[in-house]
Each structure stands twice: as structure tokens, then as C-alpha cells.
């Protein structure tokens, strides 16, 4: 197995006369958590579509190891299937049915929805639905997860809880994650590396490594200073913090 399941080199995507993303180069290590933040409409979804393989770059090269699974903002579950049937979708590749049943049970216990196995998604709360989506994506062996603003449709408190939930899940089932969000706090709280994109055409404006171990408190000074740094980088705040406040975060 390659140590870098995802490598992008000078990826650009041009639609007619509009350049959506320009010369993006990124190497993702196995089980690394990458957050991509950027202004809305900057081409984040274009990038995700290229990463998932549903779109092709106009120029540049992409090397991706194996399949990907996507986690959507909302409504990615099949509404005609129950919780357990939805999660079972993620286990289809396994030909052994008794193994499948055992794994399914594991996953349902893992997301603590034992009492909801036969419920349909529309009967669940938004947070529960996202937990089911995560379980479906984590089922089986697919390593690369693409998350497209997965928590942005949830209310604030649920969003905070889901971040902790995601950290817990990834601790037990490590995966390589590309997490697109417009929520800078969320990016800093979760990611090993935060990639900040520019306005359209999207380029990498800067990259921030966060080394603090997870789970991270939202109010930890390092988290706060990293958020501040990104906000300033994006030109959303006038003043920059003193350099020493950033000493734990390596800025590339």
C-alpha cells in the first residue's frame, strides 16, 4: 500500500471561459485529516467532484488509490431504506453474509442507534441521520472519505456534538478524510491540515498544520489562534495576532 492515497498535481478545471480551480497541488498521507475551507462559490464542490471521479480536471494529474465514499450535507441516505438497510449498503462488497450481519450490528452499536434500526431516515433527527451516513461510509474497507459540508445543515449544538462523534469514530476506524467546510472553527477542531482556498478561481492561499491532539476543545488557545490566523488570511479580520501566539501551528 502506498503511503499517499491521494496526490494532486497542478489540477485545474476550466468550464468554457470560467476557471473554477487553478493549479492545485496537494499530497494527502494515509489517515490524514485534511480540511478545505474557502469562500462560498470558490470551487470547493468542483474540487470534490474531481476527487470523487465524477468530474475530470482540465489539466494536471490526479492519482487516487482505491474507491472513495462521499458524505453529503443532507439527504445522502436512501429514504426508502431503514437505518440498518442503509448501513448494510456500505457492506455490500463483503460476500460473506454472516460476517456482514455481525459488522452491521457492530456499526449500529458504534453509532448508538440500536433502538432505531428499523426506522426510516425521515423519522430521525438531522444528527442521527448524519451518524447513519457516517456509519454507512465507514462500513467496509473503503479508505478515502470525502465530506461535503457534512454538518452544515445541523443546528450549532448538534454540530459541536457531531464533531466529537466524528473524532471518536475515526479514532476507532482510521480513514483518510477530505473535509470541505466553510466553518473555520470546525476545520481547525478536526483537521491535521487546513487548506485555505482563494476566491474563484480557487488556488491554495495557505496551509495550516494543527498538531494539537484530538479531541480538541473549541476554546483551546491553539485552536483559537489558528482560527484567528485563518480568518485574517482570508481578509475577514483586520489585525493579525502576534507571531508567538502561533508558535504551535506551523504555517506553510
Partner 1 sequence: MQAEFDSILSCVIQYWYYSGEYSKALRFMMDEKLSWKVRVLPYMVLLLALALWELLAIRHMYPESSFPSPLLVAAGFREEIQSNRLQNDLIASLFRVSIGFTLSVSIGIPIGLILGLTLGARTAFMPVINFFRNLSPLAWIPFAILWFGIGDKPAVFLIFVSSVFPIIIGTVAAVANIPSVYFRAAKEYGLSGVSLLTKVTLPAIMPQVITNLRVTAGLAWLVVVAAEMIAGKDGLGWAIWDDRNGLRLDLIVVEMIVIGSIGVVIDRLILRLTRIPSVRWGYER
DSSP codes of every residue in the chain: --S-SEEEEEEEEEETTEEEEEEEEEEE-TT-EEEEE--TTSSHHHHHHHHHTSS--SEEEEEE-S-EEEE-SS--S-TTS-HHHHHHHTTTT---HHHHHHHHHHHHHHTT-GGGTT--GGGS-HHHHHHHHHHHHHSSS--EEEEESTTTTS-HHHHHHHHHHHHHHHHHS--EEEEEES-HHHHHHH-SEEEEE-SSSB-EEEEEE--SPSS--TT-HHHHHHHHHHHHHTTSSSPPPPGGGGTTSEE-
φ and ψ at 195, to 5 degrees? -105, 120
Binding of residue 67 to partner 1 (CB under 8 A): yes
Residue of 3, 80, 219, 244 that binds partner 1 (CB under 8 A): 80
Residue of 57, 121, 150, 201 that binds partner 1 (CB under 8 A): 121
Between CA 205 and CA 107 the distance in angstroms is: 38
How many amino acids of this chain bind partner 1 (CB under 8 A)?
21
Min dist CB 121 to partner 1, Å, is: 7
Binding of residue 89 to partner 1 (CB under 8 A): yes
Stretch that binds partner 1, among 6-14, 34-42, 63-71, 180-188 (CB under 8 A): 63-71
Q: Closer to partner 1 at the Cβ: 82 or 189?
A: 82
Min dist CB 74 to partner 1, Å, is: 9
Between CA 92 and CA 18 the distance in angstroms is: 40
Residue of 5, 38, 57, 90 that binds partner 1 (CB under 8 A): 90
Residue of 68, 210, 230, 234 that binds partner 1 (CB under 8 A): 68
Min dist CB 65 to partner 1, Å, is: 15
Residue of 32, 36, 47, 69 that binds partner 1 (CB under 8 A): 69
Min dist CB 112 to partner 1, Å, is: 23
Binding of residue 122 to partner 1 (CB under 8 A): yes
Stretch that binds partner 1, among 68-76, 161-169, 171-179, 189-197 (CB under 8 A): 68-76
Binding footprint of partner 1 on the chain (CB under 8 A):
52, 54, 67-70, 72, 75-76, 78-81, 89-90, 92-93, 120-122, 136
Amino acid at each position: 500500500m502506498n503511503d499517499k492515497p491521494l496526490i494532486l498535481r497542478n489540477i485545474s478545471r476550466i468550464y468554457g471561459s470560467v476557471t473554477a480551480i487553478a493549479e492545485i497541488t496537494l499530497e494527502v498521507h494515509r489517515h490524514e485529516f485534511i480540511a478545505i475551507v474557502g469562500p462560498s462559490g470558490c470551487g470547493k464542490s468542483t474540487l470534490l467532484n474531481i476527487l470523487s471521479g465524477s468530474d475530470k480536471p482540465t489539466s494536471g494529474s490526479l492519482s487516487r488509490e482505491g474507491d472513495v465514499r462521499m458524505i453529503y450535507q443532507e439527504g445522502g441516505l436512501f429514504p426508502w431504506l431503514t437505518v440498518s438497510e442503509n448501513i448494510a449498503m456500505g457492506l455490500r462488497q463483503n460476500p460473506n453474509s454472516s460476517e456482514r450481519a455481525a459488522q452491521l450490528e457492530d456499526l449500529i452499536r458504534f453509532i448508538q442507534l440500536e433502538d432505531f434500526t428499523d426506522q426510516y431516515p425521515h423519522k430521525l433527527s438531522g444528527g442521527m441521520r448524519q451518524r447513519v451516513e457516517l456509519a454507512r461510509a465507514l462500513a467496509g474497507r473503503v479508505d478515502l472519505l470525502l465530506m461535503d459540508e457534512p454538518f452544515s445543515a445541523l443546528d450549532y449544538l448538534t454540530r459541536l456534538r457531531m464533531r466529537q462523534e466524528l473524532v471518536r469514530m475515526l479514532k476507532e476506524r482510521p480513514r483518510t478524510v477530505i473535509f470541505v467546510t466553510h466553518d473555520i472553527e470546525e476545520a481547525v477542531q478536526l483537521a491535521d491540515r487546513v487548506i485555505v482556498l482563494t476566491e474563484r478561481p480557487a488556488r491554495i492561499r495557505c496551509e495550516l498544520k494543527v498538531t494539537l491532539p484530538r479531541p480538541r476543545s473549541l476554546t483551546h488557545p491553539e485552536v483559537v489562534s489558528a482560527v484567528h490566523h485563518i480568518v485574517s488570511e482570508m481578509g475577514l479580520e483586520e489585525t493579525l495576532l502576534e507571531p508567538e501566539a502561533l508558535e504551535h501551528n506551523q504555517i506553510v
